[in-house]
Amino acid sequence: MPDDVRDYDQLYRQFRWNIPARYNIGVDICDRWAARDPGRLAIRHLHADGRDEAISFGWLRETSNRLANVLRAHGVTRGDRVAIFLPQAPEVVAAHVAIYKLAAIALPVAVLFGPDALSYRLQNSGAKALLTNAQGLAKLDGIRARAPDLTCVLSIDGEADGALGFGDLLARASPDFTPVDTAADDPSMMIYTSGTTGQPKGALHAHRVLLGHMPGVELPHHPFPQPGDSYWTPADWAWAGGLLDVLLPSLHHGVPVIARRFDKFDPDDAFALMANTGVRNAFIPPTALRMMRAAKSPRGRYDFKLRTVASGGESLGVEALEWGKAAFGLSINEFYGQTECNLVLGSCAQLGLLRPGAIGKAVPGHVVAVIDADGQPVRAGEVGQIAVKRPDPVMFLEYWGKPDATRDKFIGDWMTTGDQGVMDDDGYVSFVGRDDDVITSSGFRIGPGEIEDCLIQHPAVALAAAVGKPDALRTEIVKAFIVLKQDFAASDQLAAEIQGFVRTRLSAHEYPREVAFIEAMPMTTTGKVIRRLLREKV
């Protein structure tokens, strides 16, 4: 977007997409900059022991080239899926670049996932290779047989049983690699997203997805980039929010990204990090902002250099926006999207594009409407489903191996989001709520199916259902309703055991924070759980 325009309506009218026919994310975010200035800062890696490591674009090009050669030598080729199971670290960036330059498909997996969640994604995607660390190998142990296509495992912590040493292999590999020529529409990455039934679905994206994200990144940070900008987020780079809202767009613009692993988010650590590193731009999910708001006020304790702060994933609310002004001295700009089609609505106080209680307006380049069940836009002020019109460069290609689910995502040319909203006369969209059973917790969209599948594996559980319960901090928490098998009795101890069972197998954000034992599960005549009746009991 032009950085000299200070009027939203003018930006929206004048915007035109410029998507080249041939395009490769890895070449764009790495090799392009390394050719100009190999010493340019790409990643500032903050280690837990206090070390501050500068990673250049030159390092990124050489490391990604070596890794691409290693992966190719182990049989990875165009279209193969390569999983990345690591926290924020330079190796994650090198892996993405290498995979894109190979014309393979990156499969980011969040480190908070347990063995069952990891196993499903490896098996369903048919991943051929995996890059991880010692912690990841511990989760892989015992489930590798469930991923028969996985033939190459690399560990950044060195060679181990069943894993090759990342550093040793790269040291012997050539630093020269010619990127595979790719079309903008060729597949580049796959991110799993939860739905209302069954296991998560792999949303397959093309290389053009990065260019499609750029207006949605630039709007809340407008004008972006500026000299001296640096970007940080506590969000895992495996999520669309961390990867496509921060990491890849920043590198596209040559803006350095701050990398720091948080085993558990701590508000004071976040305040200190932003102040000590002079972060200029931040994406902070709503739940993290609420935790920071509950901590001691940062005013007078920290000297921030922040220029912009953005948030998305859930509606912030007026009070959080007012707190942001007091804490950071600037307005927090909201944005909205989904893994399948991200950053399509946004706000920008610098452009006067801000209305408390609303997410914002359509980001330049995207056509967004609130539609009815027939795919017709509803009148201003009426509730309908938020939808995005195709074609759109940020829109996903398909759900991996699920043509029916892909087709059902659309009504005509409108990609439906499953989110209910209202658009006012000025084009501002306000979020109303989900129109399905997906649970929104701490910015994550959680499908009940994966949780329920895990719950019924517990020896005491006969039937299980998961629903969202409203929560002031997390928007919703997962609550499980359970019918026990005949030989088991309800107790607090059993509830805690079941919670731990899910937490260790799936992830810390998906386990039920509340468990209720019931005598009978409300079911339809066809045997489907009526979650609506359970939500009335939360």
CATH number at residue 476: 3.30.300.30
Q: How confident is the model at residue 441 (pLDDT cuts 50, 70, 90)?
A: confident
| Residue 485: alpha-carbon gap to chain centroid | 37
Does 233 map to a domain? no
Q: State how far the Cα of 497 lies from the Cα of 493, in Å rounded to an integer.
A: 6
Inter-helix orientation angle 492-505/448-455, to 10°: 120
> Domain for residue 394, yes or no?
no
- Quick one: 382 exposed, middle or buried, by C-beta within 10 A (0-12, 13-18, 19+)? exposed
Residue 1 pLDDT: 82
CA atoms within 13 A on the CB side of 422: 11
Domain assignment of residue 253, yes or no: no
Q: How far apart are CA 120 and CA 522, in angstroms?
A: 28
- Answer whether residue 297 shows pLDDT above 90: no
| Residue where a domain terminates, one of 157, 182, 207 | 182
Are the beta carbons of 111 and 136 closer than 8 angstroms?
Answer: yes
Beta pairing class for 231-232 and 444-446: unpaired
> For 250-254, what is the mean pLDDT?
98
Tokens describing residue 31: 């090799």
What does the angle CA 231 – CA 237 – CA 239 come to, to the nearest 5 degrees? 120
Measured between alpha carbons, how far is 351 from 9 in angstroms, rounded to an integer?
10
Q: How confident is the model at residue 61 (pLDDT cuts 50, 70, 90)?
A: very high
* Averaged pLDDT for residues 492-521: 93
Closest of 214, 222, 216 to residue 349, by C-alpha: 222
Domain span including residue 75: 24-182
CA distance 361 to 346: 6
- The answer to whether residue 525 scores a pLDDT higher than 60 is no
Q: What is the pLDDT of residues 467-500, one digit of tens each?
A: 999 998 888 999 999 999 988 999 999 999 999 9
The yes-or-no verdict on residue 538 having pLDDT over 90 is no
Amino acid at 370: V
**Residue 357 falls inside a structural domain:** no
Give the pLDDT confidence score for residue 171 in this predicted structure: 98
pLDDT of res. 291: 83
For the domain that residue 123 is a member of, what is the CATH number? 3.40.50.12780
pLDDT at 524 over 70: no
Instruction: Give pLDDT tens digits for 332-348.
Output: 999 999 999 999 999 99
Q: Quick one: what percent of the chain has pLDDT higher than 90?
A: 77
Torsion of CA 46, 334, 194, 77, to 10 degrees: -50
Which CB contacts under 8 angstroms, 24+ apart, belong to 158-162? 160/134, 162/137
- Count of CA atoms in the C-beta half-sphere (13 A) of 93: 33
Asked whether 538 and 467 are in contact (CB, 8 A), the reply is yes
Considering the domain boundaries, does residue 169 fall inside one?
Answer: yes
Q: Which residues contact 248 (CB under 8 A, 6 or more apart)?
A: 25, 29, 96, 210, 213
Average pLDDT (235-262) is: 96
Quote the number of domains for the chain.
2
Residue 30 domain-assigned? yes
Where a domain ends, among 163, 182, 201?
Answer: 182
| pLDDT > 70: percent of the chain | 98
DSSP annotation of 250 reads H
Task: State how beta strands 475-484 and 461-471 pair.
Answer: antiparallel
What confidence score (pLDDT) does residue 440 get?
A: 83
Q: What is the pLDDT of residue 159?
A: 96
| CA-closest candidate to residue 190, choices 249, 118, 121, 89 | 121
Domain assignment present for 335 = no
Give me 477's structure tokens.
Answer: 């928490």
Inside any domain, residue 85: yes
CA distance 44 to 247: 12
Task: Identify the domain boundary among 182, 217, 233.
Answer: 182
**Amino acid at residue number 329:** G
